[in-house]
A and B are shown apart, each in its own frame.
Chain A
Amino acid sequence: MGYIVISVLALLCLLPFWLIISGSFSAEDDIIRDGFRLVPNHFSIDAYKAVFSNPMQIIQAYEVTVGLTLTGTILGLFFTSMAGYVLSRKDFKYRDKLAFFIYFTTLFSGGLIPWYILIVNYLDWKDSYLALLVPALMSAWNIILMKNFMKSIPDSIVESAKIDGAGEFTIYWKLILPLSTPGLATIGLFLGLSYWNDWFSANVFITTESKYPLQFLLYKILASAAVLKTDIAGNLGADFKAPAETLKMAVAIVVTGPIIFLYPFVQRYFVKGLTIGAVKG
């Protein structure tokens, strides 16, 4: 039964994606007239031509995104897991208070404007990668999830290590981290996805085109294609018109592709059986 349920669900997830792939290779007019098709009526790569109209720029954007994603994920994992570990320790006196302190930030926010003022006027991070990297390092959601994953590690491990004379950081680094690989993989995945998908902070903070991350560059291409259809652009000379509808789909493919290939790599860490014995030995 499990196989059937999973297969049906997987099919429900795969089908739309297939339609997008097919759509991205369709002629613009066909998509407007007929909507989505399993197989394109007229095969066309116009959408991809529009995406890759400036290939150097795309490559540059990939570099920026990969760099940000790697740095952000590694640093983020480090800080998140440390915080999660502290909160998971039952002998830590302030854990409830601090958990509340962290969770509270998901409830209230001052909105975009003070946030922008902080980053631009006080930190002076306008047009700097730091504005994309640092604010996304930690999230309350990730820390609390991390804490939850680490809770299942028996206290006895920490205690026996302490008796052996290990310091706090050694315990965390040598014992806790290897025992939390599924949790680390999960949070790492989430962090990686959030960096990979983030276009909004670049939208607000980055003004130099060569610093655009991939997602934002693609959104920019989409937005320009859409604007060329509006009245605002009545006066914009546009001989080179991008196919707006199929472009949306090509963009989805260009963004998703690499992550899909990366995901099996993450899955390697979802293995059972890291028992206490395995670590101690």
Chain B
Amino acid sequence: MKKRLFKLLSVCMAVAMLSVLMSACGGSGGSGSPEEGKSTDSSAKEESAAVDDGKPDTSKKVVLNWYLLGDAHADTPKVVAEWNKMLEKDLNATVKLNFTTWNDWQTKYNLLLASGEKVDMLFASSWADFFKFAKQGAFLDLKDLLPKYAPETWKEVPEQDWKDVTIGGKILAVPSTYPEYTPDGLVYREDWREELNAPEITDLDSIEKYLEAVKTVKKVTPIKGKAWNEVNTLFHNYYDFKNIGGDSGVIVAKSYDTPRDVVAYPFTMEFEEWVKRMKTWADKGFWTSNTLSIQQESGDFIKTGTGAVYWRNAPGASGFIADIEKNHREIKKMGYFPFTRFHNYAVPNLGINNGMAIPKNSENPERSLMVLEKLRNDPKYYNLMTYGIEGENYVLNDKGAIVSPPPGKDPKKGYGIASWGWRYSKNEHPSSNRWEGEDKLMEEFKAASRPDIFAPILMDYQPVKSQLAAVNQVYQQFGMPLMMGLVPDVDQALENYRSKLKAAGVDAVLAYVQKEVNAYADEKGLK
């Protein structure tokens, strides 16, 4: 009996597995995707051709597959259900809204796009590798679809923002429309500064005096957790060294005013001066000797009274300070020094700092775009998906600011998802509980605004990728300890770092970046 049962079982197994095997072989491994991509392309064209007269055809009911970054809120299923009711009525479509969760979201982006899964829209961003994916052909060209299926968006997104997402003549994303400044800066304990009579923080010397006072009088290590970001961003901003096309490692433009002057900064006099100074900072104990190994945020130590300084960008600082004002009342006053003050200008983020894109394997790009159009422009849609259900998750106060959760509700009702991709300043409401210094900062940035000329430079690095990898490696092994002043002998370490960079091929990388920058500057007519 058992024997027969087993035979049956194993035969079934074998058949099942074989059929799987066959189907897999038939598709010859993993290359089925390009063809599928093509077929959706052509069907898209057919459809748009068929209904060229008047309104887009929505007679066929479709289910769209969307991906957002991060996590859903506990109430998101309710919100999405509400949204789908509206969508079904207006556009005869529903959306299955997926979240990547914050675990390894980069890996998941790679998988979603590389596998050619059928995704109709996902969050895209310059800080989530938009340019790399775009250049490698992961997204659908929206040029022909936009005027027809998202006319309002097409009109209202500024020309420059469309240009930023146009790569090789194709428009590959819908950028958010929400001018924003996120310059780096230092959050610090202002109450201690006043108490210690340290000078107001306005430049590098006053930062040094403040740190010294905290260390010697308060006996507190000012930057107790990770200190790398503090030092690295301070360095770049102090000398006005600009990253090119995202994080460009040791290659920088020497200043905003001379975009074509590209250097490998470890070879500059400025760098030499800097590392000498940082050695004295490290020796004075402004951070701990194990700062490069520690995994804890320096901000955590501020909250416990054992730290004084933390690196944050402006909105991040605002959130951090608001949190301290609310939950750590023993800390009387926090201050913020944005690094924009070193050279008195601020650069707004690219539109595509947040945005939405359609992967090339989407089956219903037209409808997906129509949903986005609604989402961006119709306040009913916008508020629902951005702030949750009115009365339940938020209310608007008399100044039009969002109060979330509504007074008297469980704090867990306070709503938030990564809605940044469809943000539109026209429909955005400020939050009622934020750090009061934030508005003033934003005004300061706006007044000193200059356009971003470095971020849109597309860096591919393909021809020099092995040199770049080697340079990265040297940078992390020798450059970081040197910049943190952790080496016993600065001169020797500097010389060693420079020779290791040369050996790794830093010149080839520099030449490549220089070439790309020149081409870009010629095209844009920069000096």
Contact = CB atoms under 8 A, between A and B. Distances in A.
Q: Please determine if A and B sit in direct contact within the complex, based on CB atoms under 8 angstroms apart.
A: yes
Interface of A: 29, 32-33, 53-54, 112-114, 116-118, 120-123, 126, 167, 169-170, 173, 199, 203-204, 207, 209, 216, 219-220, 223-224, 226-227, 229-241, 245
A199 B101 CA distance: 13
B84 to A, nearest CB: 16
Contact of B405 (A53, A223, A239): A239
Contacts of B415: 237
Nearest to B410: A240
Given A33-B301, A113-B115, A230-B316, 17 more contacts: A53-B412, A114-B30, A117-B114, A118-B24, A170-B2, A199-B103, A203-B103, A207-B98, A207-B99, A216-B103, A220-B103, A227-B70, A231-B182, A231-B315, A236-B418, A240-B411, A241-B327
Given A32-B296, A229-B299, A237-B404, A170 B114 contact: no
Contacts of A245: 296, 300
A168 to B, nearest CB: 9
A32 B296 CA distance: 8
A122 B24 contact: yes
Q: Place the interface of chain B in its size category.
A: 35 or more
B114 A238 contact: no
Interface stretch (B38-46, B105-113, B261-269, B517-525): B105-113
B117 interface: yes
A226 B323 CA distance: 15
Contacts of A169: 2-3, 6
A237 B316 CA distance: 11
A216 B103 CA distance: 9
Contacts of A235: 315, 319, 420
A53 B411 CA distance: 12
A20 to B, nearest CB: 16
A153 to B, nearest CB: 20
Scoring A32, A112, A226 by chain B CB atoms within 10 A of each residue's CB, the highest score goes to: A32
Interface in B85-102: 98-99, 101-102
A216 B100 CA distance: 12
Nearest to A244: B300
A32 B102 contact: no
B117 A114 contact: no
13 contacts: A32-B300, A32-B303, A33-B304, A113-B111, A118-B30, A169-B3, A209-B72, A227-B102, A234-B315, A236-B418, A237-B414, A237-B431, A239-B414
A231 B182 CA distance: 9
Interface in B115-136: 115-117, 127
Contact of A223 (B101, B300, B304, B411): B101
A245 B319 CA distance: 19
Nearest to A54: B74
Nearest to B17: A134
B313 A231 contact: yes
Please name the 4 residue pairs, one residue from A and one from B, whose CB atoms are nearest each other, closest first.
A234-B315, A234-B316, A237-B416, A223-B102
Contacts of A116: 111, 114-115
B70 to A, nearest CB: 7
B297 interface: yes
A219 B105 CA distance: 13
Nearest to A221: B71
A169 B402 CA distance: 69
A220 B71 contact: yes
A232 B411 CA distance: 22
Contact of B2 (A113, A173, A226): A173
B351 to A, nearest CB: 16
A200 B490 CA distance: 43
Interface string B333-359: 000000000000000000000000000
Contacts of B303: 29, 32
B104 to A, nearest CB: 6
A122 B23 contact: yes
Given A29-B304, A113-B30, A122 B20 contact: yes
B72 A32 contact: no
B32 A121 contact: yes
Interface string B1-17: 01100100000000000
A204 B414 contact: no
A29 B307 CA distance: 12
A33 B412 contact: no
Contact of B110 (A33, A113, A167): A113
Scoring A203, A204, A235 by chain B CB atoms within 10 A of each residue's CB, the highest score goes to: A235
Contacts of A126: 117
B488 to A, nearest CB: 28
Given A227-B70, A231-B312, A237-B416, A220 B301 contact: no
Contacts of A114: 29-30
A223 B103 contact: yes
B27 interface: yes
A51 to B, nearest CB: 14
Nearest to A235: B315
Given A203-B101, A220-B102, A220-B103, A117 B115 contact: yes
A33 B24 contact: no
A99 B418 CA distance: 49
A235 B102 CA distance: 15
Contacts of B299: 229
Nearest to A174: B2
A219 B30 contact: no
Nearest to B103: A223
B451 to A, nearest CB: 22
A33 B107 contact: no
Contacts of A226: 102
B37 to A, nearest CB: 13
B291 interface: no
A232 to B, nearest CB: 8
B255 interface: no
A234 B313 contact: yes
Contacts of B301: 32-33
A86 to B, nearest CB: 12
Contacts of A241: 323, 327
B115 A120 contact: yes
B298 to A, nearest CB: 11
Nearest to B115: A117
Contacts of B312: 231, 234
Scoring B103, B402, B414 by chain A CB atoms within 10 A of each residue's CB, the highest score goes to: B103
Contacts of A216: 103
